Structure 1
């Protein structure tokens, strides 16, 4: 772990309404992650929802306008596959029990703790996505063997699954150093047609 992270250049979005704080975290991460910064909740949602989702979002809880709690809720409602680490000066209380975050860090956060949290969340996301990859492969195998080959519906479903497989595989390979071994050993699921 020479850089402190196992994933090479994970995508991280830093969200904090205090510009100096957000920029300081981004500066700490610039050599080990592809970092984007947002200074409010609306800007954060724009960054998170455009293109490929970030791997980790470092999210301040208390911001004017759209709070970190609101941003977190919208991320989860939209089903965006990203890990959310709340990074805040507010000590956790029982109110956090119902918040669907993945980790919680109290400010100030030193470099080692920041790296450790991102590294851990990247690994969690990688294994979650690996499970999704295997589910998609299984679904593709069932569709290919159980539906008549000449149906447009089957072709469309397989094409959609293959697109999702490629996207999921790319993210797993980016996040998990031993992904090549895991994915190469998984050759699909053989199904005999009925």
Structure 2
């Protein structure tokens, strides 16, 4: 069975780019909001990895990450950000992110990071 990845981003273009890169090797779930992400994790037991945008409407990705870790402390989360901020990256790692990827990204970087986290 293919590993299952939940992609969480409010931008359709980013979700679609990630889907095209990942759909061959992974089973994908998509969410557009933090609430959809939380609901998906609560109702789906076998999500192997979450790709989570840091800048989301209503609730930011760091807060969503903290909620995910309360639901499942072992869940692996890679943060996706458009900001090359050391502070943001540090905050994400402290909150429990396994890694982070900076937009714009390329397929090689995404796949290498995912493979490293799921290994």
Fold in common (TM above 0.5) = yes
Higher helix share: 1
Q: In the alignment, does 2:54 pair up with 1:58?
A: no
Please report the RMSD computed on the Cα atoms of aligned residues, expressed in angstroms.
1.5
Number of positions where the alignment pairs a residue of Structure 1 with one of Structure 2: 116
Q: Comparing both chains, which one has the higher relative contact order based on Cα–Cα distances under 8 Å and sequence gaps of 6 or more?
A: 2
Q: In the alignment, does 2:107 pair up with 1:114?
A: no
For residue 66 of structure 1, report the CA deviation from its aligned partner. 2.1
Between structure 1 and structure 2, the one with the greater Rg is: 1
Higher strand share: 2
For residue 64 of structure 1, report the CA deviation from its aligned partner. 0.6
Indicate which of 65, 72, 91 corresponds to 2:65. 72
Runs of 4+ in 1 over 6 A off after TM superposition: none
Look up the SS of the partner of 1:17 in the other structure: coil
Structure-2 separation of matches of 1:47 and 1:79: 12
What TM-score, normalized by structure 1, do the two folds share?
0.56
What TM-score, normalized by structure 2, do the two folds share?
0.88
For residue 9 of structure 1, report the CA deviation from its aligned partner. 1.8
Look up the SS of the partner of 1:27 in the other structure: helix
